[in-house]
Amino acid sequence: MTATPSVLVTGASAGIGAAYAKRFARRGHSLVLVARNTARMEALANRLRGETGVAIDIIRADLADAGERAAVEARLRDDARIGILVNNAGASLAGTFVEQSTDDIDRLVTLNTTALVRLVHAIAPRLARAGEGAIINIGSVVGLAPELGMPVYGATKAFVLHLSHALNLQLGPQGVYVQAVLPSATRTEFWGHAGIDVDTLTGVMAVDDLVDAALVGFDRREPVTIPPFHDAGQWAAFEAARQAMIPGFAQSQPADRYLADA
């Protein structure tokens, strides 16, 4: 791996992905941009080449399509220059669960979970062998809050959080850092695709503020970064409570409250 590794960013044509591309380019990293919209990626790449002088490649791919995704997986496996993966591509759906079609749900789950974990698996063995590298997975606070009413989307983001946290524990000793970033409402095109007018929401964060904060967490090597969450003590308490429960899971007998009355 080079001293300044290349960064592959998915969902790089707009929003959070484009902001990550800008920030890493300004840090001197060459880029591989992945998204469906080639014109937007070319415009971004041309601008960043002019501003920073870094090398930028573009891969046009729909990551929900196994055939198109294969080229990205191969690039992550084979290109030793890529030392950082930003797994940002994702989507949500309009409507309630019963209103959403099973085909749309299947595509959402494929993009938000299957594609993400396959890209992680494409690069992780190589990074572990090299003893260095980083993976940034973009989750969501919705993955912590079923009450927010996005069942399938939230479930996929809970998957991202668990995967990231577990892999950071497993790969960290081998020199590979895995960060889960959990945005809340962020001003991107995501909301329009989900059938929601972002201007009707409160507490919406600017995308540049979100990514700048996430990169502070990245530089600090936080396993989980939640840019909108101000009370870090609550997260520490949540983590402590969760970890305190783990010893209680290994029991040969059901808890007393589940035993039939004598």
- Asked if residue 96 lies in contact with residue 144, where contact means CB atoms within 8 angstroms, the answer is no
Query: Which of these ranges, 141-145, 146-150, 190-194, has the smallest mean pLDDT?
Result: 190-194
What is the count of structural domains for the chain? Answer: 1
Kindly state the percentage of the chain with pLDDT values over 90.
87
Kindly state the percentage of the chain with pLDDT values over 70.
94
> For position 221, which CATH number holds?
3.40.50.720
Radius of gyration of the chain (CA): 19
How much is the average pLDDT of 136-158? 95
Query: Which of these ranges, 36-40, 178-182, 198-202, 216-220, has the smallest mean pLDDT?
Result: 198-202
pLDDT reading at 2 higher than 70: no
Beta bridge partners of 135: 85, 178
pTM for the whole structure? 0.93
**Does 248 reside within a domain?**
no
**Does 241 reside within a domain?**
no
Residue range(s) defining the domain that contains residue 222: 6-232
> In which band, very low, low, confident or very high, does the pLDDT at 184 lie, cut at 50, 70 and 90?
confident
Sign, CA dihedral 38-90-115-227, equals positive
3-state percent helix, strand, coil for the chain, nearest multiple of 5? 55, 15, 30
**Does 262 reside within a domain?**
no
How much is the average pLDDT of 231-245? 96
**Does 107 reside within a domain?**
yes
**Does 250 reside within a domain?**
no
One-letter amino acid of 2: T
Catalytic residues: 153
Select from 84, 78, 198, 88 the least CA-distant residue to 140: 88
**Does 239 reside within a domain?**
no
pLDDT of residue 3: 84
Token pair 């415009």 is found at 43
Say which DSSP state 64 is in. T
pLDDT reading at 51 higher than 90: yes
**Does 255 reside within a domain?**
no
Q: How many angstroms separate the most distant Cα atoms in the chain?
A: 78
**Does 257 reside within a domain?**
no
- Asked if residue 181 lies in contact with residue 225, where contact means CB atoms within 8 angstroms, the answer is yes
